[in-house]
Amino acid sequence: MANQPQLLLVDGMALLFRAFYATAPTGQFMFNDQGIPTNGVQGFLRHLLMAIQSRKPTHLAVCWDMGSKTFRNELFDGYKANRAAPPVEMVPQFDLAKEMIDAFGVPNIGVSGFEADDCIGTLAKKAQDELDVSIVTGDRDLLQLLDRRIHVDILQKGYGNYRSFNEETFYDHYGVTPRQFIEVKALMGDSSDGYPGVRGIGEKTAIKLIKQFGSIDSIIDHLDMLPNGQQKKISMDIDMLHLSRRLAEINCHAPVSIDLESAGYSGVTDSFIEKVDQLGMRLVKYDLVKQRWNQEGPNSVFLANE
């Protein structure tokens, strides 16, 4: 219900990367008067503002990766090893995005050795007894977090477009539970994260196997029931399958917490508007004006200054 307290957890990394690459291929880096590229930050903030408008949260936090190495790299050297360094135009935008969130008056959250996904999972599970939790991301991996009072919005093309899931809609769509989705990911692997799972088994086969057997352990216990080709593939990659499961699972016990008082959200702050003006973020200013117009009409004091 709209009047229920709700925590919006934002996957800062996913939204920032998506926003950057939406314009980078055509060279629209949107350099401001100080020569700073702002295309990723502006897109990220537009996603954020539209998520707020859609979900109307009472509390808000943004989660980030903190460096390239995590506990998963200790488990597997190849984890994300295939990813290129970010383009030079994106590098200054990581800190700039966090500065904008500081000006927004809500927490930036991240911890060395863990990914943004782990922070989101930890905070969501801790908060679900007190608040409804909405997660906004572009990463399907976070669907494994679906639970009582936790739902996930996956960004689609454009701004303000989501594919929204709760436990029931996820099961209706995939035919497995959110927890079983970890098993599916382990079987099929993840080329973007650099772990192979079982070579030769894709998403459709992985879902079919988990539907039939319920878990990886049960599949291994009943290998003789599988076609010869699948038996051979799984038998050859069984160690990697177990490792892939550990890599695929979001760690919901990261050393992070949230102070609900500091995460309270009651509207766009003056310091954020000043920062938007200072950095010449015209697209964000346009969204702010449009939102204020919708809320207060043409007599808005904010609009009178435009």
Grade residue 306 by pLDDT with cuts at 50, 70 and 90. Answer: very low
* pTM of the shown model: 0.93
Q: Which amino acid is at 117?
A: D
Spatial distance between the Cα atoms of 267 and 264, rounded to a whole number of angstroms: 9
Mean pLDDT value across residues 127-156: 97
Q: Where are the domains of the chain?
A: 6-172+251-295, 176-248
Question: Who wins on pLDDT, 228 or 292?
Answer: 228
> Which residue type does 21 have?
Y
48 burial (CB, 10 Å; 0-12 / 13-18 / 19+) is buried
For the 6-172+251-295 domain, the top CATH level (class) is alpha beta
Residue 293: pLDDT over 70: no
Would you state the pLDDT for residue 303? 44
- Tell me whether domains 6-172+251-295 and 176-248 share a fold: no
- Mean pLDDT, residues 234-261: 96
The yes/no answer on whether domain 176-248 falls in CATH 3.90.1150.10 is no
- Mean pLDDT score, 92-100: 97
Separation between Cα atoms, residue 20 and residue 271, nearest integer Å: 24
Cβ(265)–Cβ(59) below 8 Å: yes
Quick one: average pLDDT of 173-179? 97
Provide the residue type at 129 as one letter. Answer: D
Task: Give the Cα separation of 76 and 247 in Å (integer).
Answer: 8
Question: What is the model's pLDDT at position 289?
Answer: 78
In the structure, what pLDDT confidence band is assigned to residue 201 with cuts at 50, 70 and 90?
very high
Kindly report, residue by residue over 14-39, the tens digit of the pLDDT.
Answer: 999 999 999 999 999 999 999 999 99
Residue 187 CA to residue 144 CA, distance in Å, equals: 15
Q: Does the pLDDT at position 304 exceed 50? A: no
